[in-house]
């Protein structure tokens, strides 16, 4: 829920960045692929900006992943408490000190007593070759840990996004620029929905629809019926945000000449709303979705724990608690990659929704 609160601060920045990215072709890669400072000649225009843009994208992506991995590594390694002690205590359920004799084999096995810089470069070298390591706790390759758990989380993420879009589109089309009362009630509800704490909402949904009405299973598991309530838990607050950013645009759109001309051509109110104004007003929502995709993915843990779903969120929390560095890094890197990918998708969606951006 606190992550959602950031969205108003993030949104304009994200929108600007993505706009700039899709028009100017990416800062970091530009200089490398184009030695001359002058504006390129007309015949270069066909290939160069595309390449530059791709290279820039790639560099940014690698940079983001590297930064995320480094940050995670340092945090995990530098926090108080000793990793070998933690492994031993976790195995015995105790919280005590450990003797040097007990610690030595663990330190030797994982290289905890090497200088930090050595550990860091070993970590980076492994990462570069795609080796995410083996979990300290599960004794299992991290790729396998992630592979086992990523499916339900992806499912939940997209289901939540879909739920959020459906709710907000229906509410907007149905209520924006209707009577003052309808419009402001709907707008108020959006604000409330956006502020709902996911944990609280999840428990309420669980108690009402699973425990009392019995419409859905209490223990969600990985089945389809078990997906509905978790998706609503994450989707409803997001729908509030989407509604808020879309509503303003939608109301502006209703006053635009194109809406007026469509009406004059004899198109009905619903047709105008659905076919012209809605399409016009979804751009900020699409930007928000790029961010929301990453946020839903990393915030899935709330729904996962209330509805007892498997998934990466829960694995991440457990791994952080037991300072299982390889697993934490693996998941953080994956989430960073998803943010990068989601922003790329947002760019593509922009050009599809608003073809003018392709030529600008």
Partner 1 sequence: MTNRQPAYQPSTTDPSRSRLRNGLSVIGRSDLRTNGGKGAGRRAASAAALLGVLALTACGSGSGGSAGAAAGEKVDGGTIRYAHLQEPPCIYGGWVQQAYLSRQVLDSLVSQTEDGSIVPWLAEEWSVSEDQLTWTFKLKEGVKFTDGTPVDAQAVSDNFEYWTGGGNGTVQAYIQEYYESSKAVDASTLEVKLSAPYSPLLSALSQGYFGIQSAAALKERTEQQNCEAPIGSGPFTVGDWKRGESVTFQQNPDYNSAPQNAKHQGPAYVDSVVWSFVQDNTSRFGSLASGESDAIGEVPTVDFETAKPQFQVQQYITPGRPVTLSLNTVEGPFTDTKVRQAFAYSADRKAVVDSAFLGVVPFEPNGTVSQSTPGYNAEIAGEYPFDQAKANALLDEAGWTERNADGIRTKDGQELAIDIVFGLNSIVTTEGATALQNLQEQVKPVGFKVNLLPVTQADLFGGAYSTPDSYDAQLGYWTSPTAGILYINFRQNTAKNPNYANTAFYNNAEIEDLILKANSAPSTEEANTFYAQAQQRLSDEAVAVGLYTQTSTVATSQNLQDVWLEASQGEPVFHDAYFTE
Under the rule (CB under 8 A), what is the footprint of partner 1? 79-83, 85-86, 88-99, 102, 105, 135, 137-140, 145, 148-149, 203, 206-207, 210-211, 214, 217-219, 221-222, 304-311, 314-315, 318, 320-323
Please count the other Cβ atoms lying within 10 Å of the Cβ belonging to residue 139: 7
The two counts, helices (H) then strands (E), for the chain are 18, 0
- Provide, rounded to whole angstroms, the least separation between the CB of residue 42 and partner 1: 57
- Provide, rounded to whole angstroms, the least separation between the CB of residue 188 and partner 1: 29
Helix H, strand E, coil C: the string for the chain is CHHHHCHHHHHHHHHHHHHHHHHHCCHHHHHHHCCCCCCCCHHHHHCHHHHHHHHHHHHHHHHHHHHHHHHHHHHHHHCCCCHHHHHHHHHHCCCCCCCHHHHHHHHHHHCCCCCHHHHHHHHHHHHHCCCCCECCCCCCEHHHHHHHHHHHHHHHHHHHHHHHHHHHHHHHHHHCCCCHHHHHHHHHHHHHHHHCCHHHHHHHHHHHHHHHCCCCCCCCCCCCHHHHHHHHHHHHHHHHHHHHHHHHHHHHHHHCHHHHHHHHCCCCHHHHHHHHHHHHHCHHHHHHHHHHHHHHHHHHHHHHHHCCCCCHHHHHHHHHHCCCHHHHHHHHHHHHHHHHHHHHHHHHHHHHHCCHHHHC
Nearest CB to partner 1, comparing residues 14 and 133: 133
- Provide, rounded to whole angstroms, the least separation between the CB of residue 119 and partner 1: 16
Q: Among all chains, which residue has been given the structure tokens 């502020």?
A: 195
Nearest CB to partner 1, comparing residues 292 and 328: 328
- Provide, rounded to whole angstroms, the least separation between the CB of residue 274 and partner 1: 39
> How many angstroms separate the CA atoms of 206 and 233, rounded?
9
- Provide, rounded to whole angstroms, the least separation between the CB of residue 158 and partner 1: 19
- Provide, rounded to whole angstroms, the least separation between the CB of residue 83 and partner 1: 7
- Provide, rounded to whole angstroms, the least separation between the CB of residue 86 and partner 1: 4
Nearest CB to partner 1, comparing residues 40 and 147: 147
**With contact defined as beta carbons under 8 Å apart, do 170 and 220 qualify?**
no
Nearest CB to partner 1, comparing residues 36 and 80: 80
- Provide, rounded to whole angstroms, the least separation between the CB of residue 225 and partner 1: 11
Nearest CB to partner 1, comparing residues 216 and 350: 216
Nearest CB to partner 1, comparing residues 307 and 350: 307
- Provide, rounded to whole angstroms, the least separation between the CB of residue 200 and partner 1: 12
Nearest CB to partner 1, comparing residues 213 and 264: 213
Nearest CB to partner 1, comparing residues 159 and 325: 325
Nearest CB to partner 1, comparing residues 121 and 215: 215
């Amino acid at each position: 829920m606190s992550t959602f609160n950031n969205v108003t601060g993030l949104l304009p920045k994200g929108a600007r960045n993505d706009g700039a990215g899709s028009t100017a072709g990416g800062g970091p890669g530009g200089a490398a692929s184009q030695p001359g400072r002058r504006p390129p000649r007309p015949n270069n225009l066909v290939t160069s900006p595309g390449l530059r843009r791709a290279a820039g994208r790639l560099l940014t992506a690698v940079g983001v992943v590297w930064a995320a991995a480094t940050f995670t590594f340092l945090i995990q390694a530098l926090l108080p408490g000793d990793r070998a002690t933690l492994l031993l205590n976790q195995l015995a359920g105790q919280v005590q000190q450990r003797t040097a004799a007990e610690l030595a084999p663990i330190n030797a096995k994982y290289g905890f007593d090497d200088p930090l810089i050595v550990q860091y470069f070993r970590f980076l070298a492994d990462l570069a070759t795609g080796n995410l390591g083996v979990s300290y706790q599960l004794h299992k390759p991290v790729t396998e840990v992630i592979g086992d758990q990523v499916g339900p989380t992806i499912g939940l993420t997209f289901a939540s996004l879909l739920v959020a879009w459906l709710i907000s589109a229906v509410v907007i089309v149905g209520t924006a620029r209707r009577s003052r009362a309808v419009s402001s009630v709907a707008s108020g509800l959006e604000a409330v929905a956006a502020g709902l704490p996911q944990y609280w909402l999840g428990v309420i949904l669980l108690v009402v629809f699973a425990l009392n009405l019995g419409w859905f299973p209490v223990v969600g598991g990985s089945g389809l019926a078990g997906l509905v309530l978790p998706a609503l838990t994450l989707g409803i607050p997001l729908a509030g945000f989407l509604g808020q950013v879309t509503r303003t645009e939608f109301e502006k759109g209703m006053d635009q000449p194109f809406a007026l001309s469509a009406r004059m051509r004899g198109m009905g109110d619903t047709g105008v709303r659905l076919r012209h104004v809605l399409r016009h007003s979804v751009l900020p929502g699409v930007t928000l979705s790029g961010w929301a995709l990453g946020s839903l993915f990393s915030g899935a843990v709330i729904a996962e724990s209330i509805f007892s779903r498997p998934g990466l969120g829960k694995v991440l929390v457990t791994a952080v608690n037991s300072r299982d560095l390889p697993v934490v890094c693996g998941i953080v890197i994956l989430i960073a990659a998803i943010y990068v990918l989601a922003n790329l998708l947002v760019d593509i969606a922009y050009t599809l929704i608003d073809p003018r951006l392709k030529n600008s």
